[in-house]
Chains A and B, each alone.
Chain A
Amino acid sequence: MSFVSYAMILAGGLGSRLCILSEKRAKPAVPFGGKYRIIDFTLSNCVNSGIFDVGILTQYRPLSLRDHIGIGRPWDLDRKRGGVELLQPFQGWAETDWYRGTADAIHQNWTRVEEREAEHILVLSGDHVYRMDYRPMIEAHLARGADATVAVTEVPREEARGFGIVDLDGESVVRGFLEKPASPPSGTISMGVYVFRTSALHAVLREDSERDTAHDFGRNILPEMVRGGRVLGYRHEGYWQDIGTLDSYYRANLDLLKPHPPFPLEDPRWPVFTPSTEFPPARIGARAEVRSSIVTHGSIVNGRVERSVLFPGAVVEEGATVRDSILMGETWVGPQAVLDRVILDKRVHIGPRARVGFGDDRTPNRSCPEHLSSGITIVGKETRIPEGTTIGRNCRVSANLIEEDFRDDTIPSGGVMERELNVAH
């Protein structure tokens, strides 16, 4: 039995690279994999690892996350001792302010750690999809008397740029820590999963709060601890996916559809918990064709669905075709509509005979080419696309648009559709 019983989850981030998916919700609250939100994986890892005392640090658009977590029932976190608590910035007597960074968020809530008289705590990120038993890592941390232990995983070196690169020696001691370098020396990266000795962490946090830094775990705290203390790396084997970009979000969802998914959701020994929906089972109609797809309760398929993820209440009408797409909750795809490499946010309505993700033109998105160039078209929450509209690839269609907002019946590839601005070419 380990001595670590408190986990703090960083869930306040803006997630700007997720485009309009995180426009109205924090990244950990983005729907994933048919019935989950991204934070479900971290929360389920906690309870499956026997950790039932969790603080979630929120700042950016916390309402969706707050509704999702509620009192923590689905995770058995509605408890008398421990449980789950959302820690939003607040005003008090002393100097308090919005969280200036991830480290500052923990520092501002340090009383929570003190109250528990915990010698060690877990610090986690709420925006990764992975399955991990934290107990062996905690045991290694305790057995080797570390000040901090960082979970590490391997990614291809060319993809490592967006992460913190960890330099481990033969004894798994961290010799260096480089946050998001332009040319990564290796593909060994930090997963954003840490165990800290609280006294050591507190000393560094206190110092950092006085200085003019980014107050960021990866940028400031970890390098500081590597300089002054004993930091270990712990290798995690198995699937781990950061949901930082639209492409990685899309890929992680479609990973689930492989014949042998790298991350099977179905494991009775390690369930992923989430609030249930009250919908009836998925209903597949007489003329439906469904292949290589995920269907969930409340989804209704009367058309053709291939390599796609249907969230609860997604409806595909007769004659419609949905390929390589992600349809979030309560979306509706009208008769004869065709979707190809499309992400629909919740309650999007696709009129009959509309074509979304159409054509061979791969022009990157004109307003965010760096995030929208792989051919995915994304439609924001509750937007209603009129009957017969054609929308190309790499397009971004904002949330809450109604039929009347669409003045043209065609949006070419790379287009951006927003209210009033109309189509910008």
Chain B
Amino acid sequence: MTAIPPVLTLVLAGGRSDALHALGRIRTASALPYGGKYRVIDFTLSNCVHSGLNRIGILTQYAPLSLHGHIGIGRAWDLDRRDGGIRLLQPYVRQRETNWYRGTADALLQNRNVIEDAQARHILVLSGDLVYKMDYAELIRFHEERDAALTVATVEAPSEEPDRYGFVRADRSGRVTALEEKPERAYGRVVSAAIYVFRARDLMHRLRRPEGGPDLVRDVVLPMIAEGAPVFAYPHRGYWRDIGTVESYYESNMDLVRPVPPLNLYDPDWLIYTPSEDRSPAVVGAEASVSQSLISHGSRVEGEVRRSVLFPGVHIGPGAVVEDSIVMHDARIAPGARLRRAIVDKRVAIGRGAVLGEAGPGGEGLCVVGKGSMIPAGATIGPRTLIEIGVSERDYPGRDIAAGSVIRPR
């Protein structure tokens, strides 16, 4: 770790992700359970502490309770500190101009007193809903060496969906010449990683402009590039995933159970921290069969598990089969049930012999079962089915649910 100048880190963690369906309705994407024992924001926070950054504000707005409960006073990251540490920044009522955060730039502007009080030289603006490991100290050194007003970290686009990324073009020196937000067609492979270091005074100057808008990229970053401010691209090599959709969330979890995972969680020098759960060790039963999976404390496996991620407290009964699935905290998979390509949220109960997501005439695709819902014993649920939060037995029209259905509580 190298000495770094005074930096204030602000983590944007207030967004609402409709593309996460039932997973994202009760929590902001940053608070999504990930990788068996983590929340997505653990990556950003662990990166911060490993990079020597310990003055951190987390901007929350949408469904923040799950996130607030997770972060607490920041103990898990050694961020319960006298100086600095973690602050949760919710919108609040003021004497004048009270409003919710209308966008990312507006969220920063509403916290201008926090930024000014920090007297930091640079402001690192991060997103809480990304999975990656990065040494921000190197990014900041790069930014200082070039005397940049703004440095944007870039990565190679992890998927072929141009409308999910901002494409960055830079000249040979690394200076950014254009940024195309969510275009219809891809512009090369280099995209913004949504990781920004601003020189503090440049950021404040931009935010305070009367004509400024609420969005950080559209109303701050793009005008800076257009007006010729020194904006540089910092190439990040290594794993980086945005988990803002059900598919990308699923794929990133499944990356962890590949024979050689592209993201190493076992590096003792860069462990990902998260609050511990005080659960007992996992028990694998006498008849169980487990392969290519992650298993967390408090779990009890009596059936078969393949290529899956099990969170704490999951019980899988004898004869049950779980394949290519993500099963969150305290879900109960009854004996004989079968799951394929399913994301099962916390405290879901899958009844005896129920079948979920098996490919049939309706094709393949992910099933999502919302928090606290149940699937009746003996039910057959086709792929691409969305079961909303809190669905109970009487909400099912029958025992056979066609592919692509949506089941809601009545």
Contacts and interface: CB of A to CB of B under 8 A. Distances in A.
Contacts of B287: 291
A278 B273 contact: yes
Interface in A272-291: 272-274, 276, 278-291
Contacts of A292: 284-286
A30 B300 CA distance: 25
A373 interface: no
Interface string B275-291: 01111111111111111
Q: How large is the interface on A (under 10, 10 to 19, 20 to 34, 35 or more residues)?
A: 35 or more
Interface in A49-89: 74
A293 B285 CA distance: 7
B285 A259 contact: yes
The main secondary structure of chain A at its interface with chain B is: loop
A300 to B, nearest CB: 8
B291 A284 contact: yes
B351 to A, nearest CB: 22
A295 to B, nearest CB: 5
A271 interface: yes
A294 interface: yes
Given A265-B280, A294-B281, A295-B284, A284 B297 contact: no
Given A265-B280, A280-B265, A286 B259 contact: yes
B71 interface: no
Interface residues of B, number: 37
A291 B283 CA distance: 9
Contacts of B289: 289
A294 B286 contact: no
B10 to A, nearest CB: 25
Interface in A293-320: 293-298, 300, 309
B291 A288 contact: yes
Interface string B318-333: 0000000000000000
A281 B36 contact: yes
A278 to B, nearest CB: 5
Contacts of A280: 35-37, 265-266, 272, 294
B349 interface: no
Contact of B281 (A34, A278, A284): A34
Interface in B63-117: none
Contacts of A33: 280-281
Contacts of B292: 284-286
5 contacts: A34-B281, A265-B280, A272-B278, A281-B36, A285-B259
Q: Which 8 A-B pairs have the closest CB atoms?
A: A276-B276, A34-B281, A281-B36, A265-B280, A280-B265, A281-B294, A281-B296, A266-B280
Interface of B: 35-37, 257, 259, 265-266, 271-273, 276-298, 300, 305, 309-310
Interface of A: 33-35, 74, 256-257, 259, 264-266, 271-274, 276, 278-298, 300, 309
Given A33-B281, A35-B280, A280-B36, 13 more contacts: A264-B280, A274-B278, A278-B272, A279-B266, A280-B265, A281-B35, A283-B293, A284-B290, A284-B292, A284-B305, A294-B282, A297-B296, A309-B281
